[in-house]
Amino acid sequence: MRRHRLHALVLPLLLLAGACSTPRGSSASSSSAASDASDERVDWNVKPPQHAVTGHPVRVTYLAFASGRKFELVNESHTNPHEYYSQKVPIEQAYRKIQSDEVVQALLDRLKEQGALDQARAGAAQSFPAGSKAQALEIQMDGGVRHWLVTDQSPADERTRFLKSANDFVQLWNATIQMQAVDSPPEWNGTSQGKPASKPKRPGSTAGKVQ
């Protein structure tokens, strides 16, 4: 993709150089300046400008114990996207996505409206074996970690409220673009798993429903 973009930029530059070539009777200094300009080299491999960050790192994680998977969303104050996505990781660990501080704050506001922050307890969520009907949202901000855990023993109204919050997280996670480099075998051997991290199923679906 970068090569195509470079070609698209080079062609207009060449046409512009031809249209602006030194006319007859122009001074030698003008000709020299044109020659100097043509020798300039442009570094296209520069880091993209960062979005405005608040300096307050936030992490929200959805733990789906039924499938043994977790899905994580962090803001740019938590993780620099350019540096993080440049690191190659095993595909089973490519569960983190990075959003702007503004978008993650909007998610926190939504979770707060639904009572998720009030419901959350101090500390990280405990682990459950794969296949368990438990689910959890883990929220890290202001240097502390809190979690909201529901199981098949939780009250029905609490499970309903949890699913609303978890669904909002899932929708945002699925909508967030991920450019993670992953370890995978070549495509031609027929065994490649070089695919983006699988989308989490919405809480409440057959596989992820808390009953």
Per residue in 162-187, pLDDT (tens digit) is 999 999 999 999 999 877 666 654 44
Q: Is the pLDDT of residue 19 over 50?
A: no
pLDDT, one tens digit per residue, over 113-131 is: 999 999 999 999 999 988 8
DSSP codes of every residue in the chain: -HHHHHHHHHHHHHHHHHHTPPPTT--HHHHHHHHHHHT-------PPPPPP--S--EEEEEEETTTTEEEEEEETTT--HHHHHTS-EEGGG--EEEE-HHHHHHHHHHHHHTTHHHH-EESPPPP--TT-S-EEEEEEETTEEEEEEE-TTS-HHHHHHHHHHHHHHHHHHHHS-----EE---GGGT-----PPPPPPPTTSTTT---
- What pTM, to 2 d.p., does this model score? 0.64
